[in-house]
Chains A and B, each alone.
Chain A
Amino acid sequence: MGEILKTIQLNKYFREIEEFHVIKNINMSINSGEFVCITGKSGCGKSTLLYLLSTMDNDYEGEVFINNTKVTGLTQNELAAFRNENIGFIFQFHFLLPEFTALQNVMMPALKLGKYSKEEIEERALAKLAQVQMKDYAHKLSGKLSGGQQQRVAVARALINEPKVIMADEPTGNLDSVNTGIVFDIFKDLAAKGNTIIAVTHDTDFAEKSDRIIEMKDGEII
């Protein structure tokens, strides 16, 4: 399958008190349908790299291509629209909107995209919730769900717009082994269906079972 994500000479500096070269000359390529894990010691720049790839952080040097689109240089608003359609993001601390139900949380990115009618979106959202075995909790306030349940809802939300790439920053970092297992199985399943997954993780077991491991050290790929 074809290339879905590519970086050319990616460099990032933090310039706060003193200049800190956090991402160094990263050239990487990820194919469509791959399940890639990024690992490395704490502080080596994994999260920073992932936020660059996700288009949320656009303060960098070099170029990023996603799905044959050069995202480097797009405006904030263009990037927002691009993320909405092409990238699903999962965070370590689940990060649902607590005042909304599980279903509303899942529907939100799709409502923003506005490609389907509200009824259709609701149907799709319920299907996604079923995929992560959370359909029974659809109408519960997300603030009232357990951590593992919330993370599964967050996965369903990342999937709602059928994005080309799913990115996750330590998606299981906060979960017990049972929930880690569930989330991992979902990822595996998604990858098997042709979704591209890029996950940052500390969990070596988790990484071992993925298609490819990208190991980082001090801002470089080794």
Chain B
Amino acid sequence: MALPVNLEIAKTHLLSRKKQSIVAMLGVTFGIAMFILMISFMKGVNQFLQDTMLSSTPDVRIFNDYKTDFSSSITSEYFKDSNQLTIVHHPKPKDISLNLKNAQQIISDLHQNPKVLAVSPVVTSQVFYNYGPVQLNGILKGVNILDEIRLFDLKSKIISGRLENLLTIDNGIVMGVGLAEKLHVVIGDMVTLATPSGTSMRLRVVGTYQIGIAAVDDVNSYVNISTVQQVLGKDKNYITAINVKMKDINYAHAEAFSFQKKYGYKAEDWEVTNASVEASNTVRDVLTIVVSATMLIVAGFGIYNIMNMLITNKMKDIAILKAQGFAQKDIVQIFLAQSITIGLLGALAGLLFGFLLSYGLSCVPFPAKGFVSLKTFPVIFEVKYYVFGILFGVITTLVAGFMPSLKASKIDPVAILRG
């Protein structure tokens, strides 16, 4: 039943030196606010990059990964003597085709798969755009645009023109906005491109789009699948990759593995394709944790200091309390309650302050230059972070307050009260 008295004493102690209590609290407030700001911003960046990445990366991509298997060689046809040892330096493949041979079967099989939401066959080719005397490098992605739309939210990425124009206008091309700028073309203009094998073709620009990643927007363009097949001189069954969207993105990893086994072609899930994005996410997470932890530890030391000072000032009071029969655990409670109060109030203020800071940041225009397209700083607001904030704040102050409180409880009243 002693708890209320102890809390009463703790409260009086806190209120009788408001300034110190507030300074201690501000330490926690600042630490937590920074934590909230950092994590909201860093997670915002992660989220943004992930979204951007997913808007151009399929959940699973099945393609023909040309093999460099030189275990058998045509040299054996010329050197038939089995007693001879033949060594071939710098072997090269004779002929490789990059297409998926049974693409139509794979596609119809994928359509049967209950975990698959959408399938889009793609023919990709390296091309060169004629721009006066120079040739600009580019990648042509031949797709059935209606299938592709089901995989990626391309409509929101359109800057000018319409994707559906690909269906109605012969030899249309929807160009990455960066590439269109480089070529100085707008809708309706004609561009001339050439394939590595030498064939060339004229296409009409029917739209431009922007994914938000310069590396994509500066090289990629969409055309009809038949256009690429035609420019490459291939037939209608020539498919170089199949993009798959899963019903749940988390299936991707496991399914990619089973596709690979089933169809005999390389199947890569989005996480593998974008491993570098994952790595940079991890770096940001670690950074957030390190900086926030440092701040909280500093705040913790502040509290430790203030509690120690308080206890030195209150030696006499502690001795009196003990003389009256307050036990060690009561003394611990009295002082621990104070540091927890400081921690809790400081953390609450920190959450509010952190929220205001993150909100403020989310309104600041992002100085977008090339690399990504962003209107304002990416910030996400999640209850989870605020719960963590409170927990961290309270735990830090609990730890920081515990040692001084224990010290207080060990004070020998006789040594202090002896007149």
Please report A residues at the B interface, Cβ cutoff 8 Å: 47, 51, 54, 56-57, 76-77, 80-85, 87, 89, 91-93, 95-97, 99-100, 104, 108-109, 111-114, 118, 157, 169-170, 173
Contacts and interface: CB of A to CB of B under 8 A. Distances in A.
A219 B98 CA distance: 105
Interface in B70-109: none
B326 A99 contact: no
Interface in B385-419: 413-414, 417-419
A194 to B, nearest CB: 22
B329 A91 contact: no
B112 to A, nearest CB: 73
Given A76-B328, A95-B417, A83 B323 contact: yes
A47 B418 CA distance: 7
A72 to B, nearest CB: 16
B332 to A, nearest CB: 12
Contact of A112 (B12, B320, B326, B417): B326
A80 B327 contact: yes
B417 A81 contact: no
Interface stretch (B1-9, B18-26, B202-210, B252-260): B1-9
Interface of B: 1-2, 4-5, 8-9, 12-13, 16, 316-317, 319-330, 413-414, 417-419
Q: Give the dominant DSSP class at B's interface.
A: helix
The 6 A-B residue pairs with the shortest CB-CB distance in the complex, in nearest-first order: A84-B325, A114-B1, A80-B327, A111-B5, A83-B325, A92-B419
11 contacts: A76-B328, A77-B328, A83-B325, A84-B324, A85-B325, A89-B324, A95-B319, A99-B13, A109-B324, A112-B330, A170-B419
A118 B322 CA distance: 21
A169 B323 CA distance: 13
Contacts of B325: 80-85, 87, 109, 112-113
A89 B323 contact: yes
Contacts of A82: 325
A93 B417 CA distance: 9
Contacts of A89: 323-324
A109 B322 CA distance: 10
A76 B12 contact: no
Question: Max chain B CB contacts within 10 Å: which of A95, A100, A157, A173?
Answer: A95
A126 B323 CA distance: 22
Contacts of A54: 323
B322 A108 contact: no
Given A47-B418, A99-B13, A100-B12, A112 B2 contact: yes
B414 A56 contact: yes
A87 B330 CA distance: 18
Given A57-B414, A80-B330, 4 more contacts: A47-B419, A91-B419, A109-B325, A113-B325
A81 B4 contact: no
A151 B46 CA distance: 67
A77 B329 contact: yes
Contact of A97 (B1, B317, B414, B418): B317
A157 B323 CA distance: 12
Contacts of A76: 327-328
Contacts of A95: 316, 319-320, 323, 417
B2 A114 contact: yes
Contacts of A56: 322-323, 413-414, 417
A83 B324 contact: yes
A54 B325 CA distance: 11
A97 B321 CA distance: 9
Given A97-B317, A100-B12, A80 B417 contact: no
A203 B98 CA distance: 111
B324 A99 contact: no
Given A83-B323, A89-B323, A111-B5, A173 B328 contact: no
Contacts of A114: 1-2
A77 B1 CA distance: 15
Contacts of A96: 320
Contacts of B8: 104, 111
Contacts of A170: 419
Contacts of A57: 414
A45 B239 CA distance: 104
Nearest to B12: A99
A210 B206 CA distance: 114
A106 to B, nearest CB: 11
A159 B12 CA distance: 23
A78 to B, nearest CB: 9
Most buried by A among B9, B316, B321, B323: B323
B335 to A, nearest CB: 14
A87 B324 CA distance: 8
Contacts of A81: 325, 327
B3 to A, nearest CB: 10
B1 A93 contact: no
Nearest to A77: B327
Contacts of A51: 414, 417-418
Contacts of B417: 51, 56, 91, 95, 169
A173 B13 CA distance: 29
Nearest to B324: A109
A49 B16 CA distance: 36
Nearest to A57: B414
A193 B227 CA distance: 114
